[in-house]
Amino acid sequence: MLETLTVADAVELAVVERSGFVESRHAGAAIVLSPDGEVVRRLGDPDALFLPRSSLKPLQAVACITAGADLEGSQLALASASHAGTDRHADVVRDVLAGGGLTEDALACPPAWPGDTATRDELVREHGRPTRIRMNCSGKHAAMLRACVATGWPTEGYLDTAHPLQLHIREVIERLTGERIAHTSVDGCGAPVHAITLTGLARGMHRIGTASERSPFALHRVAGTLVRAVKENPWTIDGPGRPDTIAIERLGVFAKGGAEGVMVMVAPNGATVAVKMLDGAGRAATIVAATLLARAGALSDTDVASLAEELPLAVLGGGSDVGMIRPGAGI
């Protein structure tokens, strides 16, 4: 059986401090690339296989657009989102589906409650129920369906690994990461998720994050357009007050978190970091990634400190702040 890095291959990336006592430690691996895409720092084993989960979405979105999905602006940004399921998010997903003559019934992601607490509370008061369109991956699924409609591929079975869309997505991922996919699993939303390395993910995201909309290569033009769409619509990628959105708004980065403690971030100058928390906890992933970029000179320490104040990093005791989740001393 294939597996990700082991405890012996990991290093301390973050600690949880309570009243002057370090009570927990987050170990994992990370890699930092320079603006030119060269490896400048490795922590732990970034060449071990892992599942990128939702951090793979920007690569999947690029594949959907190159397959013919005609999306732009907030619709394009939402194709790479793990959104909070607010009414605003749901309305955009409905528009994407309607543009292909589709309804919510075409979505193959599982029904879910919104991740946004206020939206969920409102739906409960209205006796609502979990729906596919509120699932945080519905934007990705809608983009996949639009690609099928545009290319003439069947929308039925669009998540099957042998479906033409998924074969195309696999090919694009391999081109962007420079790696052959070693294993394919089923993601939480039902879509294929492919095992690659942190090095490969960082390489792929660097290529997307530094792509030009004026490139002679269609793949790069699409990638450049995607990055612009996300930065112009940061609310789409996650949601108000949520980590990815905050990081994009405050730092001007291109950021995408994934389940099980994954984070990838591209600084405005092109420096890129990919992080995997071995225990699967994502609570420190954003600040660790931003701190690594600051250590590489791609972000200012002041801006990263301001980001930390807005992220949910406080450790509470009796309703008061008594500590915080912070990057480990070694990073």
In a domain, 157, yes or no: yes
Both tokens of 10, joined, read 């990991």
71: domain range?
Answer: 7-327
Please say whether the beta carbons of 289 and 255 come within 8 A: yes
Q: How confident is the model at residue 330 (pLDDT cuts 50, 70, 90)?
A: confident
Report yes or no on 264 lying in a domain.
yes
Find, among 5, 1, 3, 2, the residue nearest to 45 by Cα: 5
**Cβ neighbour number for residue 281 with a 10 Å cutoff:** 16
**Within-domain flag for 299:** yes
Please report which confidence band the pLDDT of residue 143 belongs to, taking 50, 70 and 90 as the band edges.
Answer: very high
Q: Is 137:82 a contact under the CB 8 Å cutoff? A: yes
Number of structural domains in the chain: 1
Asked whether residue 2 is assigned to any structural domain, the reply reads: no
% of the chain surpassing 90 pLDDT? 98
Report the CATH number that the domain containing residue 207 is assigned in CATH. Answer: 3.40.710
**Side chain identity, residue 245:** T
Residue 1 lies in a domain: no
3-class DSSP string for the chain: CCCCCCHHHCEEEEEEEECCEEEEEEEEEEEEECCCCCEEEEECCCCCEECCHHHHHHHHHHHHHHCCCCCCHHHHHHCCCCCCCCHHHHHHHHHHHHHCCCCHHHCCCCCECCCCHHHHHHHHHCCCCCEHHHCCCHHHHHHHHHHHHHHCCCCCCCCCCCCHHHHHHHHHHHHHHCCCCCEEEECCCCCEEEEEEHHHHHHHHHHHHCCCCCCCCHHHHHHHHHHHHHHHCHHHHCCCCCHHHHHHHHHCCEEEEECCCEEEEECCCCCEEEEEECCCCCCCHHHHHHHHHHHCCCCCHHHHHHHHHHCCCEEEECCEEEEEEEECCCC
* Mean pLDDT in residue range 34-58: 98
- Could you tell me if 76 and 61 are in contact, meaning their C-beta atoms sit under 8 angstroms apart? yes
pLDDT band at residue 327, thresholds of 50, 70 and 90?
Answer: very high
Q: What is the pTM of this model?
A: 0.97
Task: Identify the burial level of 283 via C-beta atoms within 10 angstroms of its C-beta, where 0-12 means exposed, 13-18 middle and 19 or more buried.
Answer: middle
| pLDDT score of 1 | 84
Q: Residues 198-244: pLDDT tens digits?
A: 999 999 999 999 999 999 999 999 999 999 999 999 999 999 999 99
Both tokens of 110, joined, read: 């599982």
pLDDT single digits (tens) 291-315: 999 999 999 999 999 999 999 999 9
Task: Answer yes or no: is 213 within a domain.
Answer: yes
> Residues with Cβ < 8 Å from 159, sequence gap 6 or more?
108, 144, 166, 190, 191, 192
Do the domain assignments include residue 305?
A: yes
